[in-house]
Amino acid sequence: MRIAISLVLISLLISPASWAGETRVLTDAERARVQSQVDELSKNKLEQGETARKNIKDQALRQGKAIDQKLQQEKDRIDATAENLSGRYGVGLTSQVGNAKKRELDALAAAAKAKVAKDAQADTAKRQATAKKSADDVKTTVDGLKSQVSKGGKYGLKPHGSNLYVRSYGKDQ
């Protein structure tokens, strides 16, 4: 990311004036173009976070549906078993045991779905924070490069040749 930003800024600075060793100031149009590219890069980083949030939500919903399907299969199995055993043990007893087992399965399914939701929320928050930090890092990097390039040749990045910039901390000679 920092390399891309550096290349954008430095590519704007490469000009016949910089080849001759002269200091070049960016025009307003070039500044606007750089700013729009930086804004676009920051926007893309934030969009990546939003896309990750949507994907995590979809995945959590799929996992919830899978838990519900498994729960329903288990309930159907319990109903079939209770019906088969009702002739031997009586309808009341098998119904009570079956209902107790179903309540237990409902509680386990609810806990599993709550865990999936909690994990999805934590992962979403983490990814969105990472995307926001990445977008903020773009701005920090650009601000740092701008400050180094716009020092009027006193210190910062100075052109040496067609595409080489050297960091200088002394006065221009």
Beta bridge partners of 168: 156
User: 6 is written with which tokens?
Assistant: 């550096």
Share of the chain above pLDDT 90, in %: 39
Distance CA 94, CA 14 (A): 84
Distance CA 96, CA 88 (A): 14
Q: Which of 1-10, 41-50, 73-82 has the lowest mean pLDDT?
A: 1-10
The ranges assigned to domains in the chain are 2-168
DSSP letter (8 states) at residue 164 = -
For residue 20, what pLDDT is reported? 46
pLDDT tens-digit map of 103-156: 999 999 999 999 999 999 999 999 989 988 988 888 888 777 766 665 554 555
Of 158, 127, 153, the C-alpha closest to 45 is: 127
Residue 165: what residue type?
Answer: Y
Check pLDDT > 90 for residue 65.
yes
Q: Are 56 and 123 in contact (CB under 8 A)?
A: yes
User: 76 is written with which tokens?
Assistant: 């159907």
Distance CA 75, CA 86 (A): 16
For residue 7, what pLDDT is reported? 54
Given pLDDT bands bounded at 50, 70 and 90, which one contains residue 79? Answer: very high
pLDDT tens-digit map of 4-22: 555 555 555 444 444 444 5
Averaged pLDDT, 38-58: 88
Check pLDDT > 80 for residue 172.
no
